[in-house]
Amino acid sequence: MSDIKKVVLAYSGGLDTSVIIPWLKENYKNCEVIAMCADLGQGDELETVREKAIKSGASKIYVEDLTKPFIEEYIWPTLKAGAVYEGKYLLGTSFARPIIAKALVEIAEKEGADAIAHGATGKGNDQVRFELTVKALAPHLKIIAPWRQWDIRSREDAIDYAEKHDIPVPVTKKRPYSMDRNIWHLSHEGADLESPWNAPQDDVYMVTTTPEKAPDQATYVEIEFAQGVPVAVDGQQLDSVALLTKLNQLGAANGIGIADIVENRLVGMKSRGVYENPGGSILYYAHRELEYLTLDRATLHYKEQVAIRYAELVYDGMWFSPLREALDAFVDATQQNVTGLVRLKLYKGNIVSAGSKSPYSLYHEGFVTFGEDEVYNQADAEGFINLFGLPLQVRALMQKEAKKSNE
């Protein structure tokens, strides 16, 4: 431990990272701790982190505004891929960790640090996401993971440690949820949520209105995409931060984006999480609607398979992997014509399609109409069916002959 002279800590101001600063200084003698807090659009949570980090023993703190690159370099690629983990989780924590770890590496190199530290537990996925990013970008840096080393065994123990060291933390034993927030989502784990039989209490939700309390009148919204990327809401061109902020507000007001999932963690156990994803849920739905209109059958179906693998890579912390980069190339090729306008109806937690159009639409009314048309010869279908069904016909003939020979 004596060879560690300077550490850069991923700092949020929450319970775990607040107690890590004095713990590092106690256990790595004469070690300088530099805190790095990533602003990913989590709002007013960052107002007190500077003062808190210094009071907790950090020599310096960096607060890095990463919201715009977070959206454009991590969220948009995942959205274009249509990647959703296990059908529900929109990966809000998963792709936040690589950009945080990348900033840690950059600051560690700038400061001449020996190691980076993080507050992820030994039971969770985040330890993998942080550390794989460091290994991919700066394999020479040492990694300190206090939850795998110290005697603290629970959040209650951590709260007691904080109290003994006069460290204020935004968690109490009365509300001991583990939360992660950024502009894309807010997650909740722990406490009564650890039992899958317990329904989330209404006071869990801090972003989204519950569907029961949402307005009795539907809200309509139009979202414009250019090559798979959202660029405008209700006819107003917006930058990425403003666009997602607006959709978060619309979705939250209408009870959109609450997901409750028992998911398979990478480390082998199941965990229960409740996620609030108002803007993200709207964007995923709208993007999918436009793909229905603009992608051919073979591409759409193959992309569905790619989306599953892409989601696993992001969830598993393999953001900086050759496979994810290669899949990005495939996804970008599929998005060349995913341009157009989608209209949605938001009502009490539901998203309902209300129209879509694109200059690259593959929908041709002349071919699909039930009325009279001059572009489709229905007699052609007979030859198609004969050829398409030929393998089935040959197999049936073989079975018939085989049965005869065995009689």
Active-site annotation, residues: 16, 97, 126, 178
**Is there a binding annotation on residue 10?**
yes
Confirm if 116 and 7 have CB atoms less than 8 A apart: yes
**Is there a binding annotation on residue 94?**
yes
Residue 163 CA to residue 47 CA, distance in Å, equals 21
Closest CA to 17 of 45, 53, 51: 53
Residue 195 CA to residue 262 CA, distance in Å, equals 10
Residue 289 CA to residue 281 CA, distance in Å, equals 12
Closest CA to 8 of 83, 109, 77: 109
Q: Which residues contact 130 (CB under 8 A, 6 or more apart)?
A: 10, 97, 100, 101, 104, 116, 118, 120, 143, 317
| Residue keyed to tokens 């018939």 | 400
Closest CA to 342 of 217, 240, 231: 231
**Is there a binding annotation on residue 56?**
no
**Is there a binding annotation on residue 210?**
no
β-bridge pairing 229-233 and 219-226: antiparallel
**Is there a binding annotation on residue 11?**
yes
**Is there a binding annotation on residue 38?**
yes
**Is there a binding annotation on residue 151?**
no
Confirm if 171 and 15 have CB atoms less than 8 A apart: yes
**Is there a binding annotation on residue 263?**
yes
**Is there a binding annotation on residue 121?**
yes
Closest CA to 254 of 183, 349, 184, 345: 349
**Is there a binding annotation on residue 240?**
no
In 108-154 the beta strands, taken as DSSP E runs, fall at: 115-117, 142-144
**Is there a binding annotation on residue 260?**
no
**Other residues' Cβ atoms within 10 Å of the Cβ of residue 300:** 16
**Is there a binding annotation on residue 333?**
no
In one-letter notation, the amino acid at residue 341 is: L
**Is there a binding annotation on residue 12?**
yes
Residue 383 CA to residue 201 CA, distance in Å, equals 59
**Is there a binding annotation on residue 16?**
yes
**Is there a binding annotation on residue 187?**
yes
**Is there a binding annotation on residue 15?**
yes
Binding residues for L-aspartate: 121, 125-126
Binding residues for ATP: 10-18, 38, 119
Binding residues for L-citrulline: 89, 94, 125, 129, 178, 187, 263, 275
Binding residues: 10-18, 38, 89, 94, 119, 121, 125-126, 129, 178, 187, 263, 275
